[in-house]
Amino acid sequence: MILQLGIFMNQSKSENSGGVLPDAVEDTVKWTVRHARKLVVAVVGTTLLLIGIVMTITPGPAMVLIPLGLAVLAIEFAWARRLLCRVKEQLPEQFRSDRHNSK
């Protein structure tokens, strides 16, 4: 639904320079889409992170879910991006992906 609104707004702008929707409605839709995306990223990322933290005590792939949750949160939040960089720095050498020296 949210994606469909964004596609509709892009198509309507390209077809009609004035746009189909009034500016106030268009601004409201943009604000809603932006905040809905942020909310979805926060819920999914936090869920993965919390499951990963629980799996440090219980059996499970905690060392996969914690960075995955941070990566999802890093899509929208700068604090998660910084924390993910610190986690990457602390990984043992064999787990790091060396994209620049893979030639």
Provide the domain count of the chain. 1
Q: Is residue 79 part of a domain?
A: yes
Three-state DSSP state, 75: coil
CA distances from 66 to 32, 59, 72, 79 (A): 29, 14, 10, 15
pLDDT tens digits in sequence order for the chain, 103 residues long: 555 555 555 555 555 455 567 888 888 999 999 999 999 999 999 999 999 999 999 998 888 899 899 999 999 999 999 998 988 888 776 566 655 554 4
Q: Is residue 49 part of a domain?
A: yes
Q: Output the pTM of the full model.
A: 0.65
Residue 37: give the domain boundaries. 30-92
Q: What is the CA radius of gyration of the chain?
A: 20
Q: Is residue 13 part of a domain?
A: no
Q: Is residue 72 part of a domain?
A: yes
